[in-house]
Chain A
Amino acid sequence: MTVLDFVRYHRHLKGTKIGCREGDCGACTVLVGELQQDKIHYQTMTCCLMPLSNARGKHIVTIEGINPPDDSLTPVQNAIVEENGTQCGFCTVGFVMSLTCYCLAKNGDTTEEAISAMDGNICRCTGYKSLERAANRITLLMNSHNGLESISFAIEKKIIPPYFSEMPLRLSAIASTNQPPIHHPMIVSGGTDLFVQRPDELKHADFLPVFDTYEMKKIRENDDYIEIGGSVTVTDLYHSPLLQSYFPRLHRHLKLVSSTPIRNMATVAGNLVNASPIGDLTIWFLALDATVVLQNGDLREVALKDFYQGYKIMDKTPDEIVEKIYFRKPSENAYFNFEKVSKRTSLDIATVNTAILLNFEAHVITDVHISAGGVAPIPLYLKNLSSCLSGKTLPFDEKTTQELDYILQSEISPISDVRGSKEYKRLLMRQLFHTHFQHLPYRS
């Protein structure tokens, strides 16, 4: 069962709405509070995709848990009302939850960040400009932050009710009492694609939840390597100081991956084993020439570029869990880039995506890995193009450009589908390949 069905039909908390049941509209956005040491960290999640088992030991907050009891409004609710940010009202609660979560987050006091907190909420009526103005009002309020810890500040400003201060104690009382059972035919992590593809099947399915497996939630540095646990979410990657130090444009790249609530749920392992030919993280890690570590009691390692054997076919047995992934740290002057184009720039699945890791000395490319999604049945490591690029001088002359374009085009085999025709995907891939070289530091 999903958290959505539980809150609406078992607890009769009807403020949380059903819009799409695929995490694409945000009408069912709730806050999920998780104890980290002695503090609670809150994130938004679209609870239509959230298995109830992933709520274990967490504070699930619906609008009913935020509403002031005297029929008054919180500052977030008030801002939306005052700025006319609600029309038919069906999506509104989702926006309230997202903006409220922005107020509880540790970082971010700009209107842009407040708006980005709402990047997973769709309003068809469409009150976005009003909601932007509401976000601006809330940002002004947050800027009056007096140094108080964020939960206390939010309680003082009546953004959330006072009972939130008791939650760490209440959660710690239940946190250790639940142990997940051991044997299961199916493994589910964030569930952000499984619950879209197979909702009816998963409703009563017996599965092993790995989303909260502590050991799999770590990002670690290890000599020359960086290790990322399978249950690390996209949001965890986003906030990792270690990754930020190696990938200066990490934030820009990861903002292209779905929306805030989905990034809060979607995991690295989920993205890899979903085996989608256009998985954003998969493309990202392919260009880092990463290695997958599989576990089913025994450990086994597979190079990510060898992991995919055909459409949705992987070098992985059903009982193997992607425990972690690791890759060599990019060298200091390596250049990494990720490009993605979709019908809608944000909150969309890629038509074509591609990543590159490039090393060069004195305008000569020494080592390069390039990957491409949406242009083959599997997420593609562009082996031929990568080896051809090696030794080439930057910028490319016309002959080299032609040669590279030729190799690129012969290495990909896109098909026409709802995301675009094969001709378009070929052209787009060419464009994105050349776009990779747009921001190279050698120009300075």
Chain B
Amino acid sequence: MINIDAHRHVRGESVYLDDIPLVENTLFACVFDSPVAHGMIDHIDISEALNSEGVVSIITAKDIPGENQIGGIVADESLLAEKHVDFQGMPIVLVIALTEELARAAASKIKVSITPLEIVTDARIAYQNGALIIPPKQFKLGDAPSAFASCAHVFEDRVDINGQEHLYIETQGAYCIPMEGGGLKVYSSTQGPTAVQRTVSRVTGIPMHRVEVDVSRIGGGFGGKEDQANAWAALCALGSVVTGKPVKYSLHRAEDMRMTGKRNPYSADYKIGLDKDLKIIAYEVVFFQNAGAAADLSPAVLERTLFHCTNSYFIPNVIATAYCCRTHLPPNTAFRGFGGPQGMFVIESAITNAAEKLNVHPSSIQEKNLIKKGDVFPYGQIAGREAVDTWAYADKYFSFNAIRKEVDEFNSKNLNIKKGVAVMPICFGISFTKTLMNQARALVHVYTDGSVGVSTGAVEMGQGVNTKMLQVAAQVFSLPLDMIKVHTTNTLRIANTSPSAASSTADLNGKATLMACEAILERLKTVALEELNSDGTNTDIEIKNGYVYHKNELTALDWKSLLNAAYTKRISLSEHAHYSTPGIHFDWHTAKGHPFAYHTYGTCVIVVTVDCLRGIYEVDYVKGVHDFGKSMNTSVDYGQIEGGIVQGIGWMTMEEVVYDAKGKLLSNALSTYKIPDIYSVPKIIDVIPLPVTDNNLGIYSSKAVGEPPLLYGIGAYFAIRDAIRAFNPNVSPKFDPPFTPEKVLMSLYSPTKKHSTAEKNDTLQIKT
């Protein structure tokens, strides 16, 4: 089934934040943000800006009626800087003016004098300075320190992983309208309507029940609008409270890139020990997470790094430690994968490093160590069989050996073009790692004309969650799709929502929708028995295609008549249902538990071609087997697979976040930060579903598909590395993604290659 929004999308009729028709008297906001990454604010001069044309109000921290605080996990982030600035791009002053242009013009006239303080952009330096946001977290399994002693091979190295800009094509923004009685209605481009509501309430002092947050859909989020949409909504709300007028702020791209955080960069040290049969016996890893200037979601991101530090492998002795380091970059935040990809990249680097040193293919180590049914993850949860199954199926369908052979043959025949191959098994735990967040609610109304309205806490951001919610209602009530409407996500209808994140949105909200629909259905079945004068039970009744069936016999009772009968009998046609994932728990004191409803697994093989003259590359294909569970919408799920893979490849290849030593973002526009275009995608993506029969806790036994496919992109890094080593066998590039064309070319011709480079140049000119 096609995404229900598609029709409106292609006609340009879907409404996003900046498309909402404006209310009379709407004013526009713009912030003046810090040009310095760290310092004390001595003086803020707003005099010239105040006299600027069209300025209605200029607001600083002292004008905030509530709390100047937007930190969620840790209360460490001001909405507007008051005494000190902690990152370049930190909002200091809010300008409200008659038009967007005038607001921008006035903001440019603000002058702030700041006494600079030491700027730290490197997580390791922050760690050395003791700048940790939360105490370190650690996972332990077995006894790693003594296990290393028994290992035949031990390798150590360092890994540095760069961040990633979300680059949702719709920038951040909000639009706040004052309501009667001192309330606010806030339109926000957010993944977390409740987070926005809570933050607005905190900053304005207006209780949550008077703050209505409404989201139709967002133009991409990828985690970037899970927590970081809050500030813009709070600023608009602040502007509305101060001026009494509607206030809108839709960020320009440069503002968005400069002022918002990104995927957390990580640095890590690891030590891996293998026995003579290439079984991984011990693994020790220390992660230094660059959280940026405030906690934001980084502590939770850090946890997921630990949860996924052994990817889909069973390692009997593990000690993994993670430090959440405070630096002077914009606060980093959630991004598809939420720390998991960084954890997995390190173990894959360790395996590849070991393989290179031992002169074997990494896949031989990978395959030997896949986690089997009944094995335990370092955090105590027991694994299923799918890591082994997806590998075996992928190998069967696509034959890794044959691919390897093809690549080797190609390389032996081509001097300046080399192919590389990597296999990437993945494993991703599904549930918020913070157990309490695994709850959702749905509100279903059946109207007397037969139509159905569904509201949930899920935010539609292209992942097709509303389509899946509609499918659930349509299936339970056996109704045509146009009889059902999935409404906007609104905090008046659904309260206390968890953000649309952790790949769990369809599972949680789908289950709640299912429960609500089924509760109404059961009541209707009872009414049907009465209407049909049956002395049977609800199980004798079925509603199919608009008619009631009794003991599998079609009756004359249709859907609408049934509803009206129920209404006449004063039976509720509405239901508000609550779902919480059963059986999950985690104890951070022991760092053990069962945090995930289930795991999503998969195995893909990635082949790339590197042009060794120019240092540029292409991805030939990504092929493999993915564990969809029983997909409830293959169209939507394949979109997630293809999209996730390309986004992951982007992170590993061309997407390079660059800050200078002063914490200034240099990759601050689409002209300097490159994300994949249509020519950057793999020529072939062929991912087939793992045949499954088991049920799981996903909606209709489907499995979450939002984040996991991004992890396949990691394979592109190792495939490029493989190709480079085919050209320059002596080189061992640093493990420091992204593999930009710069790093590729530098590796191809690194000093160890000097002599052969000259040879290459000779041959280069006579090659036909």
Task: Tell me the A residues contacting B by CB distance below 8 Å.
Answer: 14-22, 24-25, 27, 62-64, 67, 71, 73, 77-78, 80-82, 84, 86-93, 96, 115, 118-119, 121-132, 196, 200, 203, 339, 341-349, 351, 394-396, 398, 401, 417-421, 423-424, 427-428, 431-432, 434-435, 437-438, 443
Contacts and interface: CB of A to CB of B under 8 A. Distances in A.
Interface in B740-768: 740-742, 745-746, 749, 758, 761-762, 764-768
Interface residues of B, number: 81
B621 to A, nearest CB: 11
A119 B679 contact: yes
B635 interface: yes
B359 to A, nearest CB: 28
Contact of B613 (A132, A196, A438): A438
Contacts of B75: none
A421 B253 CA distance: 26
A177 B740 CA distance: 52
B741 A351 contact: yes
A78 B10 CA distance: 8
Contacts of B7: 73, 81
B765 A129 contact: no
Interface hub of A398, A421, A428, A437 (most chain B Cβ within 10 A): A428
Nearest to B612: A431
Q: What 6 A-B pairs have minimum CB-CB distances, sorted nearest first?
A: A15-B12, A88-B462, A90-B219, A89-B9, A87-B462, A24-B670
B647 A126 contact: yes
B220 to A, nearest CB: 5
Interface stretch (B118-126, B166-174, B575-583): B166-174
A124 B742 CA distance: 23
B16 interface: yes
A67 B253 contact: no
Interface in B717-748: 740-742, 745-746
A344 to B, nearest CB: 4
A17 B169 contact: yes
Interface hub of B104, B638, B745 (most chain A Cβ within 10 A): B745
A325 B740 CA distance: 36
A126 B10 contact: no
Contact of A427 (B19, B679, B746, B762): B746
Given A18-B18, A398-B758, A84 B677 contact: no
Given A89-B217, A93-B10, A346-B679, A126 B646 contact: yes
B385 interface: no
B464 interface: yes
Contacts of B11: 15, 63, 67, 71, 73, 77
A196 B671 contact: yes
B678 A17 contact: no
A431 B613 contact: yes
Contacts of B669: 20, 22, 24
Contacts, number: 241
Given A427-B745, A432-B614, A88 B169 contact: yes
Interface string B643-663: 100110000001010100000
Given A92-B10, A431-B613, A438-B767, A82 B675 contact: no
A21 B250 CA distance: 13
Contacts of A344: 654, 674, 676-677, 680
A349 to B, nearest CB: 6
Given A89-B6, A90-B16, A427-B746, 12 more contacts: A19-B171, A63-B12, A67-B12, A87-B643, A88-B218, A88-B219, A89-B9, A344-B674, A428-B742, A431-B613, A432-B614, A434-B761
A122 B742 contact: no
Given A24-B670, A203-B101, A341-B614, A84 B676 contact: no
Interface hub of A14, A87, A349, A351 (most chain B Cβ within 10 A): A87
A428 B745 contact: yes
Contact of B761 (A17, A90, A401): A401
Nearest to A95: B10
B126 to A, nearest CB: 24
29 contacts: A21-B253, A22-B670, A27-B169, A67-B11, A67-B13, A71-B11, A73-B10, A77-B11, A81-B6, A86-B6, A87-B463, A92-B9, A92-B10, A124-B167, A124-B169, A125-B462, A126-B642, A127-B643, A128-B678, A129-B642, A341-B615, A344-B677, A345-B679, A347-B677, A401-B762, A431-B614, A432-B614, A435-B614, A438-B767
Contacts of A16: 12
Contacts of B741: 341-343, 351
A176 to B, nearest CB: 33
B484 interface: no
Contact of B10 (A86, A203, A339): A86
A89 B615 contact: no
A344 B619 CA distance: 13
A431 B615 contact: yes
Contact of A87 (B3, B671, B675, B758): B3
A424 B7 CA distance: 47
Contacts of A130: 639, 642
A82 B10 CA distance: 11
B14 interface: yes
Interface hub of A20, A73, A127, A428 (most chain B Cβ within 10 A): A20
Contact of B464 (A81, A87, A431): A87
B636 interface: yes
Nearest to B768: A443
A432 B745 CA distance: 11
B8 interface: yes
Interface hub of A77, A80, A84, A421 (most chain B Cβ within 10 A): A84
Contacts of B171: 18-19
A424 B658 CA distance: 16
B656 A343 contact: yes
B613 A128 contact: no
Nearest to A87: B462
B766 A443 contact: yes
Contacts of B105: 200
Given A63-B12, A90-B16, A92-B10, A395 B169 contact: no
A424 B642 CA distance: 32
B170 A17 contact: yes
A89 B2 contact: no
A89 B677 contact: no
B443 to A, nearest CB: 24
Interface in B274-297: none
B252 interface: yes
B222 interface: yes
B642 to A, nearest CB: 5
B672 interface: yes
Contacts of B642: 126-130
Given A18-B18, A122-B675, A438-B613, A423 B746 contact: yes
A122 B169 contact: yes
B461 interface: yes
B678 A64 contact: no
Contacts of B681: 126, 128-129, 132
A118 B19 CA distance: 24
Given A67-B11, A428-B615, A343 B218 contact: no
Nearest to B658: A418
A121 B679 CA distance: 11
A24 B672 CA distance: 10
Given A118-B678, A423-B746, A434-B765, A19 B169 contact: yes
A346 B677 contact: yes
B492 interface: no
Nearest to B740: A343
A90 B741 CA distance: 29
B73 interface: no
Contacts of A431: 613-615, 745, 749
A128 B622 CA distance: 14
Given A21-B252, A82-B2, A341-B614, A119 B678 contact: yes
Contacts of A93: 9-10, 12
A431 B101 CA distance: 47
